[in-house]
Amino acid sequence: MGNLRPEDIILRDQIKLRLKELREKASQNKSNLSKDVEIDRQNFQAWEKLEIGRGMSIYSIGRVCKALGITLKDFFDSGIFDNT
């Protein structure tokens, strides 16, 4: 994997913040949501940690959206993304 550009790192971190925000809003813990998304809990945890460079694919974001009952548009329709 190549080096991320600064704007890519910002977007990755915004996605992580949005994921955590939506998960908490839905009162889901990481373990239960990771099961619903069929992702290993440790991988799911890495998606939310800003200190870890791993990001989510659009396919994984789609699976999270489906598990939370929202659309991709809903996921990205947030003030978190205003600076991108």
pLDDT digits (tens, 9 = 90+) for 7-66: 999 999 999 999 999 999 999 999 999 999 998 888 888 888 888 888 899 999 999 999
Of 26, 4, 8, 18, the residue nearest 81 (C-alpha): 18
SS (H, E, C) the chain: CCCCCHHHHHHHHHHHHHHHHHHHHCCCCHHHHHHHHCCCHHHHHHHHCCCCCCCCCHHHHHHHHHHHCCCHHHHHCCHHHCCC
Quick one: 6-81 is in which CATH superfamily?
lambda repressor-like DNA-binding domains (1.10.260.40)
pLDDT at 54: 80
Beta strands in 1-84 (DSSP E): none
Q: Tokens 């977007």 identify what position?
A: 11
pLDDT at 1: 52
Residue 67: is its pLDDT beyond 80?
yes
Domain regions of the chain by residue span? 6-81
